[in-house]
Chain A
Amino acid sequence: MGARALIACLVITLLTATVVTTSPTPGHEAALVSASPADGSWLAAVPPALVLVFDGLVDPDATHLAVTRPDGAPAASETFTVDGRRLTMPLPTALDGAYSVAYHAVFTDGGEASGTIGFGIRANPPTASAHHDHVERSAANMALLAIDTALFVALLAVLLGRSRVRAPRRFREKWVLRDIDV
């Protein structure tokens, strides 16, 4: 198999996987939809409760949740309430610093979701987000992704083409000839 055929196969495989995985399918794996406080956020005061919302019905008997305070101690007892897809845990402590939330949610359809999120308490919270996402709707991000899309297409075109000698730039020849005339 030639190099170009190999790359073409890889591209077709990638596109197929993209189409398959971006098609909405019933019964997709449940996951965390939202968290309050949000992952990576800084707050001026401790909220009354931690709220996690999943896109599946949570089984309270098989689900675990642990919040760790900045000093490493548990932030609250591990008791929480479940209302369908919503999980709520009271947060009585008010210690400044970084809090860590570890969850292992089991859903009534047998699915599971686990992960760790963090938030911080500070009198004057910083404005910069520390969120662990890779795509966000901002002008800078969209501009970068537009550049990357163009580079992506350009690289594909270069790789799929046959290796060949690059012609010298015309303006160089033109300037060289002009210099000679002078």
Chain B
Amino acid sequence: MALSVNTRHHRAALNIFMAVVLAHWAEHLVQAVQIWYLGWPRPQARGVLGMPFPWLISSEWLHYGYALVMLAGLWLLRSGFQGSARRWWTAALAIQFWHHLEHLLLLVQAQTGHFIAGQPVPTSLLQLVAPRVELHVFYNTVVFLPMVVAVYRHLRPTETEASAMTCSCRPHKFGDRVALASGAGI
């Protein structure tokens, strides 16, 4: 199947995906500012979206949905990456796959009301050995780090990597191979 998101629309698709990722991090950073700098009580410190929609902050559906969007984006845009950038992107995809399974486990528990290991709230596997707060930020960080490296290496490729690129992220000096590639249905 021809996926133009990995050829002539790769840069646009990547920008949209990265905007979602940045918005998610902005939520966490804003919540940190609300708690530590503004001194808001914890229940009121709900980030940006949590202010008009307070139910979002504790919704397992939201967390699972975001994990799913991340997994889909990482998988969908992977073919557009070349060389070392693809290796870093694949690393992020692999970690996110496990992260997504953890959120699926949380969602199932929240929906059924049955919690693993006799816990009083939905609990992920690694949460049995590490607190959820640190674990959630850790998971997102270890996915975010290889993703940022991949995007950097993709948008600042070496000469060799750039010559192999067939997407719209390719530096202009390498000509318009993108149009040919998209026409070929890569």
Contact = CB atoms under 8 A, between A and B. Distances in A.
A166 B156 contact: yes
Provide the main secondary structure of the chain B interface.
Answer: helix
B28 A148 contact: yes
Contacts of A28: 44, 51
A144 to B, nearest CB: 5
A144 B33 contact: no
Given A39-B121, A134-B137, A137-B35, A166 B18 contact: no
A55 B44 contact: yes
B6 to A, nearest CB: 15
The interface size bin for chain B is 35 or more
Nearest to A133: B133
A72 B48 CA distance: 36
Nearest to B129: A128
30 contacts: A14-B22, A18-B26, A32-B43, A33-B41, A39-B121, A55-B41, A100-B120, A114-B55, A118-B120, A128-B129, A129-B131, A130-B127, A131-B133, A133-B42, A135-B35, A136-B131, A136-B134, A138-B133, A144-B137, A148-B28, A148-B140, A148-B141, A151-B141, A155-B151, A158-B155, A165-B158, A165-B173, A166-B156, A166-B157, A166-B158
Contacts of A27: none
Contacts of B137: 134-135, 141, 144-145, 148
Interface in B47-67: 47-48, 51-52, 54-55, 57-58
B170 interface: yes
A130 B145 contact: no
B134 A152 contact: no
A34 B35 CA distance: 15
Contacts of B32: 135, 145
A165 B133 contact: no
Contacts of B170: 163
B153 interface: yes
Provide the main secondary structure of the chain A interface.
Answer: mixed
Nearest to A119: B120
Contact of B120 (A10, A22, A120, A156): A120
Contact of B29 (A29, A115, A137, A145): A145
Given A39-B121, A113-B54, A163-B156, A148 B25 contact: yes
B133 A3 contact: no
Interface in B3-47: 11-12, 15, 18-19, 21-23, 25-26, 28-36, 38, 41-45, 47
CB-based closest 7 A-B pairs: A98-B120, A120-B120, A118-B120, A166-B156, A136-B133, A118-B121, A21-B51
